Structure 1
Amino acid sequence: MALRHALVSFVFLTRSFAANNVTDDYDVLQYVDTLIGTTNGGDVFAGATLPYGMAKAVADTNSQYNQGGFTYDGSAITGFSNLHDSGTGGSPSLGNFALFPYASCENDDVDGCVYPKTSRATGYVNGSVAAVPGYFGLTLDSGIIVDMTVAHHTSLFRFRFPDAGDNAGSPLILLDLTDLQDSRQDNATISVDPSTGRMQGSGRFLPSFGSGTYEAFFCADFQSPSGLRDNGVFVDTRASTDVKALKISRGINGYPLPGGGFVRFKPSSSNTVLARVGLSFISSEQACSNAEAEIPNFDFNTTYFAAVDAWRQKLNPIKVSRRGVDKSTLVNFYSGVYRTMVNPQDYTGYTQGGSNADNIIGDAFVKGLTDGIDWEDGYAAVKKDAEEEPYDWSNEGRGGMVSWKSLNYIPEQDFDYIGFGTLTRSISRTLEYSYNDYVISQMARGLNKTADAEKYETTSGYWQNLFKRDQRSYIQGQDTGFQGFFQPRYLNKTWSYQDPITCSNIDTSGSPCSLQSNAGETFESSIWEYQFFVPHDMATLITLLGGPSQFVKRLDYLHDKGITYIGNEPAFLTVYQYHYAGRPAKSALRSHFYIPAYFKTTPDGLPGNDDSGAMGSFVAMSMMGLFPNPGQSVYLITPPYFESVHITSPLTNRTATVRVTNFDPTYTNVYIQHATLNGKPYTKNWIDHSFFTEGMELVLTLGRNESSWGTRPQDLPPSLSTK
């Protein structure tokens, strides 16, 4: 799954049934379910974290698909670790420095405990999982209750051991230098202070995507009322209280040798152990400093309440009316908003298409973010992406820049001797580079760099060089009836061929479609889908595809035939591109087709990887009725799923409001009949970002039948060719 065309959303969040009233005075946290998407390939991180927090504490399972650490499918627990991604595909990532508890070791011998990850896996009690923002807990089959909360760089675990009376043993907690992916490289280290039990160390690991490595550092301290008994290190299946430091190699056959440290505590009839783990990507000393500053007194409740407050402050700026809306709708919405703030994070670099960080930076620019930002530096960074090819463009920037500048497209089987990456995806890279350049042109114009603006507006049209006007598409030998599709071209400007249906949801060829070296010319989707990816000049695209009526028929065909897959990001904007052909009502219908049918409030409720909150952002923005075209100050208007939506801007503290007249909780009336903006008639089917910063009021009157609202040429969203 691709984290590419990021939906740039807002920053906004214990459980009770939705009251049948319109009041905004409610706690939004009651509608956040952090377990949505934790199985069936959603890969969502279910554990404790702060908004965009580095520390992400959760139980790790031995499920086949445990990219988020915990998979809610009954799989056994292998440890409780501190760093995680959320919703990513590929190999499991992070899951570093896992702790694992034992109430005692067999024969009261440290060698009587089981150390390797594959051997120590333990089930958990059915129904014991508790997960809310800032907190995660469960009960192991061993009877040990484990729960956790976090500060920004620090995890705090609480291990409550069962009461064994006079037969209580010495609880042991180990810290493992193995990560989720078993990707640890050579020379991980750990040292254990013999008097305090403090553990410090580091390890170097691989990412789930891309290349390169990252090094993470930890500092673990422990607190127990019974006091410390002893400590040491373990290697493979054996442990020693005499050895206090370890430097361990990767091992052989791609599986890291088990190793780490442990602390053991004096017996107690009622023993609770707190473990505080500081984290850093700088040094173990910095990890210790983080832990001491953020959680100085091992106070679990205070730390948890602070985490709850941080989430509440982030999510409170969005309030929706609850009148007539069932709880699942509210949970779907607020949980989606929540997941947009768990990530993103990128510790090594990778890129899957264009230099799409340009879109994120440009989005912030056009939406007026200024606090602490040097936009001249920002512009220099995106311009460098457009002009200079890095040596390893598989991780950053763009490749094929010689061809881009001479041929004005990325060719199939390019000859690139300047930088190196997978020589595939020539169509999707051409389309994405074109959009990247358009976003850069907006920044240039805003910074009064007129020559640059005109230059990048020109290069943003290079996508047209891969449009083959006479290309047809066949499905199982039957002509789809449409002519004109993107196709790959070679260095000599002749056409190559890729079946427009290849890599689509209905493609049965088994063609590689991701970052494989033998993959095709589109990335994780088909030419059928990518034919709609010209976000900055839909007017020209619609003309090339035969005009508005034919364009609508193509979009209908894409969705009705199941060619698109809503579980991957390239599908998102296609749901709403009817707006550009003057049919906003069809966008509303498509939205209600996909939600809630493909987005449910259950652990298996997502249609694909959440991808750092991408699925959450699709749900949240769709349900607010203001879907963004990222990198532009454009939001496509559809009826929200609520009678009213209030969004308070963190920049201006003004509250924007969308109100619905004739709101229908059965969602039969989803056709806008007319609208007003600040009390005046408003006919455009889109709105810009000033709606939020100036705190405007948009009132939508709904009806059962499609109307003429938002259908005239002057009502359509902007395109480059129409200015």
Structure 2
Amino acid sequence: MAKAVADVDSGSNQGGFTTEGGNVTGFSTMHDSGTGGSPSLGNFAFFPYAACPGDDINQCIYPKKTRKLPYRADSVKASPGYFGITLASGVAAEMTTAQHTSLFRFKFPAATNGTSPLLLLDLTDLSDSRQDNASISIDSESGRMTGSARFLPSFGVGTWTGYFCADFKAPSIRDSGIFVNSRASADVKDLKISRSINGFPLPGGGFIRFASNPADGVLARIAVSLISSEQACDSAESEIPSFDFDATHNAAISAWREKLSPITISTTGVDKSLITNFYSGVYRTMVNPQNYTGENPNWQSDEPYFDSFYCLWDSFRSQLPFLTINDPAALTDMLRSLIDTYEHEGWLPDCRMTLSKGYTQGGSNADVILVDGFIKGLKDSIDWDKGYEAVVKDAEVEPYDWCCEGRGGLDSWHNLGYIPTQDFDYKGFGTMTRSVSRSLEYAYNDFCIAHMAQSLGGKEDDVEKYQERSNNWKNLFKQDQKSLLFNGQDTGFTGFFQGKYLNGTWHNQDPLWCSTIDPNQGRVCSLQNTGQETFESSLWEYGFYVPGDQAGLISTYGGPSAFVKRLNYLHDQNITYIGNEPSFLTVFQYHYAGRPALSALRSHFYIPRFFSPTHDGLPGNDDSGAMGSFVAMSMMGLFPNPGQNVYLITPPYFESVSIKSPITGKTATIRNVNFDPSYQAVYIQSATLDGVDYRKNWIDHSFFTEGKELVLTLGRNESSWGTRVEDLPPSLSEYVGFGNGTANGTVARRFRRIEGSIGSVRVEDVGGLL
């Protein structure tokens, strides 16, 4: 719950700090990671002064917008459990954390010896969302500050209240008090402050001054709670009782080492930046969701409580499936938390932050997460009967506010087999857009429910019903829909998903609207009521979102060759945007057409071009570790199709990768023979699993839990490995149209390299591979 860092005013500051040359506005404890949109959290920030001019507390600057300072770019130091930075004023700040508590160390320039350093504590947050009646009280003897404030969630509805407890360690305290606007008083120890009527929260909070400037700095400890200031104080005293910075930091390092320890790689010959890239991706998968167990005031429960699900639409694709491998205990607690939220609030969330319901972007994708954990064998006190009840309710009962839970348009979904454009829906309410993307996601949600019903047994009627509904994607396929480039040139492809009205007539959204090449970058494909019928992407992109029936989709597009040609066009013409989650699976969908070599090729095109350990090394915001998990799983060589017991095999970016199962203690290993760190030999020629010839281009979760060994022999030519129909991943429909029992008739095509840059792809001597 405590994630201490500097807060800045630059454009990508959703997680508090970003290296875009912004100004530091304070140092706060609560943060989310890479959420996009409005900044999240950043509550109850400290701000340090070496001294107030003229030794007058009213000469210090208190409002956030005017006190902010640049930082020294070369001073930034970040590692798991630690952040350090020096302000332009010369004040150096270091911070580390425990579970609910942050410990800050502020060191002031030596030239100010004999003056009185000051720390203020601000009753605001990163996005200035504080509402009325924030409060702070300062103990005149110890300087302890306690209080609370009510805030808005950054991507949801309602309000939430946060509480804090701050203590300080210095040789002696000179005075303390409160500030309002630009003035302060040591005579006043209590403050209750309104938001004001001018669209921003009035500046207000507390301050403390120290009688001297100790060489080893001033320590500030602050704990946060969603229950009470008393609970925050209890956490602070139990978690960091002695203000020991080094001990707290070392404990954080140990906790992170344990979390990162299941995965080890061979670094032989591999560029250091790729190693950093990989482990940075692994690290970021474990920052959100956040464990708020014991901090939920809304209901009493013995179950875990997790928050900061930003949002399952982003994280169900690879982030949470990655945790199934690397941290199944945490994921198990998250699943229990989701089911417990259903038990007490009536619905599984699709997005949730700070006790608030977040906006649903597409389908009811908690269904996918639950099913993914179920079919991969997670147990440990998960009530799977209750979980099944929850996913069935998503499919059958429409909530009043489907903006923020469940699904909308269920009458049409059940009766027409699609969500109509401009649907007539009087039972529940949400933004009446995204009819195509919602339909495709609902279809896959139902596929997953059928999968779970089949695995539970005794639910044959449900299996039949939800499998049938999972075919509803076919009802929005418009066979004669053409796609022209914006210069009028025909793309050469016909047949796309398209919106359909209640009366069965077709809507007419251009398949390239909201794609990366759409010249109208102001076109809305989001939650606004002026949005299109797809969410955050184009009809071209969503044309591949049928995860449960890739064989059926391949047939719809005219067979494997036509499918590969269309998928190549999506990537080669820069229609897809790898900085957004719908693109992830498209990188690897060549497997289903019997061309796993092309999946490896695409993976190496995007990494490290678009993902690297540099200041601007992500193509978009991290979406709470979604981008990190894409990097981690791609580089491991096993990418999931979530909701199914399927990992698509490509060569790892290392000579070997070993994953020790935290559940069984057994170690699974993927080993490359003929490993080439220049990544020219990225094609699997043959494979063995535990020493036995293995031809399938996918593997299931038992690989990890049973500690198997997958050995891949690599070469520079695409081979016949993984190309036969019997080698392909499972699909609801049967594979048809694959000549000679293989997915491609010509498998000895050679390539040298693909060179590319953002916005274009240059192909050199590909020899017909693409």
TM-score, normalised via structure 1 length:
0.91
Q: Is 1:423 aligned with 2:423?
A: no
Secondary structure of the structure 2 residue equivalent to 1:78: strand
1:169 aligned residue (111, 115, 120): 115
Contact 1:87–1:610 (CA under 8 A) maintained in structure 2: yes
Secondary structure of the structure 1 residue equivalent to 2:601: helix
**Cα displacement string for residues 32-70 of structure 1 (whole angstroms, at most 9, x for unaligned residues):** xxxxxxxxxxxxxxxxxxxxxx11110011113311111
Q: Look up the match of 2:625.
A: 613
Q: Look up the match of 2:416.
A: 407
Secondary structure of the structure 2 residue equivalent to 1:460: helix
What's the CA shift for 1:271?
Answer: 5.9
Contact 1:168–1:269 (CA under 8 A) maintained in structure 2: no
Q: Look up the match of 2:293.
A: none
Q: Look up the match of 1:501.
A: 512
Task: Give me the whole-angstrom Cα distance separating, in 1, the residues matched to 2:20 and 2:532.
Answer: 34
What's the CA shift for 1:721?
Answer: 2.0
Q: Look up the match of 1:437.
A: 446
**Cα displacement string for residues 364-407 of structure 1 (whole angstroms, at most 9, x for unaligned residues):** 11111111311112222222211222222111111111211121
Contact 1:222–1:273 (CA under 8 A) maintained in structure 2: yes
Task: Give me the whole-angstrom Cα distance separating, in 2, the residues matched to 1:682 and 1:240.
Answer: 75
Q: Look up the match of 1:458.
A: 468
Q: Is 1:147 aligned with 2:159?
A: no
Q: Look up the match of 2:644.
A: 632
Q: Is 1:522 aligned with 2:534?
A: yes
Q: Is 1:468 aligned with 2:414?
A: no
**Cα displacement string for residues 219-267 of structure 1 (whole angstroms, at most 9, x for unaligned residues):** 111111x222221111110111122111111112321111111111212
Contact 1:204–1:213 (CA under 8 A) maintained in structure 2: yes
**Which shifted more, 520-529 or 450-459?**
450-459
Task: Give me the whole-angstrom Cα distance separating, in 2, the residues matched to 1:387 and 1:293.
Answer: 46
**Which shifted more, 470-479 or 481-490?**
470-479
1:210 aligned residue (136, 156, 170): 156
What's the CA shift for 1:269?
Answer: 5.3
Q: Look up the match of 2:693.
A: 681
Q: Look up the match of 1:51.
A: none
2:730 aligned residue (696, 718, 722): 718
Which amino acid in structure 2 is aligned with residue 484 of structure 1? G
Task: Give me the whole-angstrom Cα distance separating, in 1, the residues matched to 2:654 and 2:587.
Answer: 19
Task: Give me the whole-angstrom Cα distance separating, in 1, the residues matched to 2:121 and 2:223.
Answer: 13
1:532 aligned residue (523, 538, 544): 544
> Cα–Cα, structure 1 residues 271 and 660, in superposed 2: closer, same or farther, change >3 Å?
closer
Q: Is 1:483 aligned with 2:487?
A: no
Task: Give me the whole-angstrom Cα distance separating, in 2, the residues matched to 1:320 and 1:570.
Answer: 28
Secondary structure of the structure 2 residue equivalent to 1:389: coil
Seq. identity, %: 68
> Cα–Cα, structure 1 residues 701 and 120, in superposed 2: closer, same or farther, change >3 Å?
same
Q: Look up the match of 2:679.
A: 667
Which amino acid in structure 1 is aligned with residue 468 of structure 2? T
Task: Give me the whole-angstrom Cα distance separating, in 2, the residues matched to 1:363 and 1:630.
Answer: 6
Task: Give me the whole-angstrom Cα distance separating, in 2, the residues matched to 1:598 and 1:524.
Answer: 19
> Cα–Cα, structure 1 residues 72 and 464, in superposed 2: closer, same or farther, change >3 Å?
same
Secondary structure of the structure 2 residue equivalent to 1:617: helix
What's the CA shift for 1:270?
Answer: 3.2
Task: Give me the whole-angstrom Cα distance separating, in 1, the residues matched to 2:426 and 2:597.
Answer: 49
Q: Look up the match of 1:27.
A: none
Task: Give me the whole-angstrom Cα distance separating, in 2, the residues matched to 1:585 and 1:209.
Answer: 40
> Cα–Cα, structure 1 residues 644 and 268, in superposed 2: closer, same or farther, change >3 Å?
closer
Q: Is 1:649 aligned with 2:695?
A: no
Task: Give me the whole-angstrom Cα distance separating, in 2, the residues matched to 1:711 and 1:640.
Answer: 19
Task: Give me the whole-angstrom Cα distance separating, in 2, the residues matched to 1:686 and 1:427.
Answer: 29
Contact 2:108–2:213 (CA under 8 A) maintained in structure 1: no
Task: Give me the whole-angstrom Cα distance separating, in 1, the residues matched to 2:89 and 2:716.
Answer: 58
Structure 2, unaligned runs of 5 or more: 290-307, 309-352, 736-770
Contact 1:164–1:269 (CA under 8 A) maintained in structure 2: no
Task: Give me the whole-angstrom Cα distance separating, in 2, the residues matched to 1:381 and 1:227.
Answer: 56
Secondary structure of the structure 2 residue equivalent to 1:247: strand
Contact 2:651–2:682 (CA under 8 A) maintained in structure 1: yes
Task: Give me the whole-angstrom Cα distance separating, in 2, the residues matched to 1:126 and 1:441.
Answer: 53
Which amino acid in structure 1 is aligned with residue 202 of structure 2? L
What's the CA shift for 1:519?
Answer: 0.5
Matches within 5 A, 1:241-320: 241-268=186-213, 270=215, 272-320=217-265
Which amino acid in structure 1 is aligned with residue 663 of structure 2? L
Task: Give me the whole-angstrom Cα distance separating, in 2, the residues matched to 1:197 and 1:341.
Answer: 35
Q: Is 1:334 aligned with 2:270?
A: no
Secondary structure of the structure 1 residue equivalent to 2:657: strand
Secondary structure of the structure 2 residue equivalent to 1:469: strand
1:707 aligned residue (719, 727, 735): 719
Which amino acid in structure 1 is aligned with residue 43 of structure 2? N
What's the CA shift for 1:207?
Answer: 2.2
Q: Look up the match of 1:563.
A: 575
Q: Cα RMSD between the aligned structures?
A: 1.3
Which amino acid in structure 2 is aligned with residue 370 of structure 1? K
> Cα–Cα, structure 1 residues 269 and 716, in superposed 2: closer, same or farther, change >3 Å?
closer
Task: Give me the whole-angstrom Cα distance separating, in 2, the residues matched to 1:458 and 1:685.
Answer: 27
**Which shifted more, 362-371 or 212-221?**
212-221
Task: Give me the whole-angstrom Cα distance separating, in 1, the residues matched to 2:71 and 2:631.
Answer: 32
Q: Is 1:378 aligned with 2:382?
A: no
Q: Look up the match of 1:38.
A: none
1:349 aligned residue (331, 335, 357): 357
Structure 1, unaligned runs of 5 or more: 1-53
2:180 aligned residue (211, 219, 235): 235
Q: Is 1:223 aligned with 2:169?
A: yes
Q: Is 1:86 aligned with 2:33?
A: yes
Task: Give me the whole-angstrom Cα distance separating, in 1, the residues matched to 2:193 and 2:421.
Answer: 45
**Cα displacement string for residues 546-585 of structure 1 (whole angstroms, at most 9, x for unaligned residues):** 1111000000000011100111111110000000000000
1:72 aligned residue (19, 24, 49): 19
What's the CA shift for 1:291?
Answer: 1.3
Task: Give me the whole-angstrom Cα distance separating, in 2, the residues matched to 1:551 and 1:600.
Answer: 30
> Cα–Cα, structure 1 residues 268 and 598, in superposed 2: closer, same or farther, change >3 Å?
closer
What's the CA shift for 1:500?
Answer: 0.4
Q: Look up the match of 1:57.
A: 4
Task: Give me the whole-angstrom Cα distance separating, in 2, the residues matched to 1:271 and 1:716.
Answer: 63
Task: Give me the whole-angstrom Cα distance separating, in 2, the residues matched to 1:334 and 1:651.
Answer: 21
Secondary structure of the structure 2 residue equivalent to 1:260: strand
**Cα displacement string for residues 496-536 of structure 1 (whole angstroms, at most 9, x for unaligned residues):** 11100011000113311111110000001000000000001
Q: Look up the match of 1:698.
A: 710
Task: Give me the whole-angstrom Cα distance separating, in 2, the residues matched to 1:280 and 1:443.
Answer: 37
Secondary structure of the structure 1 residue equivalent to 2:15: coil
Contact 1:573–1:629 (CA under 8 A) maintained in structure 2: yes
Q: Which is bigger in relative contact order (C-alpha 8 A, separation at least 6)? A: 1
Task: Give me the whole-angstrom Cα distance separating, in 1, the residues matched to 2:21 and 2:492.
Answer: 48
Secondary structure of the structure 1 residue equivalent to 2:733: helix
Task: Give me the whole-angstrom Cα distance separating, in 2, the residues matched to 1:391 and 1:64.
Answer: 35
Task: Give me the whole-angstrom Cα distance separating, in 2, the residues matched to 1:423 and 1:704.
Answer: 50
